[in-house]
C-alpha cells in the first residue's frame, strides 16, 4: 500500500513537473520568437530610415552640386527653376520625416504627463476641419458629422488630441484627390469615439495583413511619396496607448479608408435640445 502511494505521489510529482516544464518551454519559445522578430523588424526599420534619408539627400546634394559646378549663369532659367524646385521639395520632405521621427522617439518608451481641460467639442472639431482644408485637394470636401449637441463639453489633453486628430486628418487629405474627408465623432463607452473617413486610394492589397500603425511591419512605409513617411500612424498609436484607448484602420484599395480611435474621457451636455 505504501509503495503504491509513493508511486502515485511520484506520478503526480512527475506530471506536475512536466506541466511546469512545458509551460516554461512554451514561454521560452515565445520569447525567442519575439526577440528574433524584434531583431528582424529593427533591421527593416533601420534599412528604411536609411533609404528615406538618403533618397531626398542625394537629390538635394546632386542638384546643388550641379548648380555650383555649372554656375547659375550657364544654366537656363527654366532648368534653374526646376532644380531649385526639386531641392526645395526634397528639403521639405526631409524636414517632415525628421520631425516625425523625433516626435515618435519622444513618445516611445516615455511616460507622458497630461494636462486636461474642458473644451467645447464642436468648436475643437471645427478647428481641425479648418486646419485640414489647407491640406486638402480643392475638389475634396472636408466635413464634420455628429449626433452630439453643439454645446457638448469634453475634458481632454488638447495638445495630444490635436496631434492625434491632425495626423489622421492630414494623412486622409494627402491620399484623397476626389470625394470627401469626414470627421465623425460621438459618445461611446464613457469616452469619445472619433472616425476619420476618406474616399481616397486606400491601403494597397499587400498591406492587408499588416499592422498599419507599425511602420516596422510595412517594408516600404518610409518612402516619402507625397510626404507620407508612415511614421504618423505609429505616433497616433503611441498617443492612444498612452491614453489607454483603442485605435484601428479599415481600408480598401481605391475605395477609401476609415481610421477610428476611442479614448476614455468625461463629457457633459451631450444631448441636442429639441426645438
In a domain, 273, yes or no: no
Q: What is the mean pLDDT of residues 196-211?
A: 73
pLDDT attached to residue 213: 59
* Same domain, yes or no: 71 and 207: no
Q: What is the mean pLDDT of residues 92-96?
A: 74
What is the number of H-type helices and E-type strands within the chain? 5, 8
pLDDT above 60 (res 208): no
* Same domain, yes or no: 85 and 38: yes
- Alpha carbon distance 11, 238 (integer Å): 49
pLDDT attached to residue 13: 63
In a domain, 154, yes or no: yes
Of 58, 81, 107, which residue sits at a domain end?
107
* Same domain, yes or no: 174 and 46: no
Residue carrying the nine cell digits 521621427: 101
* Same domain, yes or no: 156 and 174: yes
The model carries a pTM of 0.62
pLDDT above 70 (res 238): yes
In a domain, 250, yes or no: yes
Q: What's the distance, CA 215 to chain centroid?
A: 8
* Same domain, yes or no: 81 and 143: no
Exposure class string for 72-99: b at 16+ Cβ within 10 A, else e: eeebeeeebeebeebbeebeebbebbee
Instruction: Tell me the percentage of the chain whose pLDDT exceeds 70.
Output: 68
60's enclosing H/E stretch is: helix 2-70
* Mean pLDDT over the full length of the chain: 78
In a domain, 26, yes or no: yes
* Same domain, yes or no: 219 and 122: yes
* Same domain, yes or no: 196 and 82: no
pLDDT attached to residue 270: 79
Report the length, in residues, of the chain.
275
Q: What is the pLDDT of residues 100-120, one digit of tens each?
A: 666 666 655 555 567 889 999
pLDDT attached to residue 230: 55
pLDDT above 90 (res 180): yes
* Same domain, yes or no: 190 and 79: no
CATH number of the domain residue 253 falls in: 3.30.565.10
* Same domain, yes or no: 61 and 143: no
pLDDT above 90 (res 17): no
pLDDT above 90 (res 91): no
In a domain, 112, yes or no: no
Of 107, 127, 161, which residue sits at a domain end?
107
In a domain, 59, yes or no: yes
- Helix-strand-coil split of the chain, %, nearest 5: 55, 20, 25
Q: Please tell me the total count of domains within the chain.
A: 2
Domain that holds residue 22: 1-107
pLDDT above 80 (res 41): no
* Same domain, yes or no: 142 and 175: yes
pLDDT above 70 (res 257): yes
Please work out, in degrees rounded to the nearest 5, the angle formed at the alpha carbon of residue 144 by the alpha carbons of 101 and 175: 45
Q: In what order do the strands lie in the sheet with 179-188?
A: 140-146, 179-188, 191-198, 256-264, 246-252
Residue that wins the pLDDT comparison between 14 and 184: 184
* Same domain, yes or no: 147 and 201: yes
In a domain, 188, yes or no: yes
Reading the block at residue 187, the C-alpha cell is 459618445
* Same domain, yes or no: 130 and 254: yes
Amino acid at each position: 500500500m505504501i509503495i503504491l502511494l509513493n508511486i502515485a505521489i511520484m506520478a503526480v510529482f512527475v506530471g506536475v513537473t512536466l506541466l511546469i516544464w512545458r509551460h516554461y518551454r512554451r514561454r521560452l519559445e515565445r520569447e525567442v520568437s519575439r526577440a528574433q522578430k524584434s531583431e528582424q523588424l529593427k533591421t527593416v526599420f533601420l534599412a528604411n530610415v536609411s533609404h528615406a534619408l538618403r533618397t531626398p539627400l542625394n537629390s538635394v546634394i546632386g542638384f546643388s552640386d550641379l548648380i555650383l559646378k555649372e554656375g547659375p549663369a550657364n544654366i537656363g532659367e527654366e532648368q534653374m527653376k526646376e532644380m531649385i524646385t526639386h531641392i526645395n521639395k526634397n528639403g521639405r520632405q526631409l524636414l517632415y520625416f525628421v520631425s516625425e521621427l523625433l516626435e515618435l522617439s519622444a513618445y516611445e518608451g516615455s511616460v507622458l504627463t497630461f494636462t486636461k481641460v474642458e473644451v467645447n467639442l464642436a468648436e475643437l472639431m471645427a478647428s481641425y476641419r479648418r486646419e485640414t482644408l489647407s491640406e486638402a485637394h480643392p475638389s475634396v470636401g472636408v466635413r464634420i458629422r455628429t449626433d452630439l449637441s453643439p454645446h457638448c463639453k469634453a475634458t481632454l489633453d488638447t495638445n495630444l488630441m490635436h496631434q492625434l486628430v491632425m495626423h489622421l486628418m492630414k494623412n486622409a487629405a494627402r491620399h484623397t484627390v476626389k470625394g470627401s474627408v469626414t470627421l465623425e465623432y460621438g459618445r461611446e463607452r464613457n469616452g469619445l469615439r472619433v472616425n476619420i473617413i476618406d474616399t481616397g486610394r486606400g491601403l494597397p492589397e499587400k498591406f492587408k495583413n499588416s499592422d498599419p500603425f507599425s511602420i516596422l511591419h510595412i517594408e516600404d512605409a518610409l518612402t516619402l511619396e507625397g510626404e507620407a513617411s508612415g511614421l504618423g500612424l505609429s505616433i497616433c498609436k503611441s498617443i492612444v496607448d498612452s491614453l489607454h484607448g483603442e485605435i484601428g484602420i479599415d481600408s480598401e484599395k481605391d475605395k477609401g479608408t476609415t481610421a477610428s480611435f476611442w479614448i476614455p474621457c468625461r463629457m457633459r451636455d451631450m444631448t441636442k435640445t429639441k426645438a
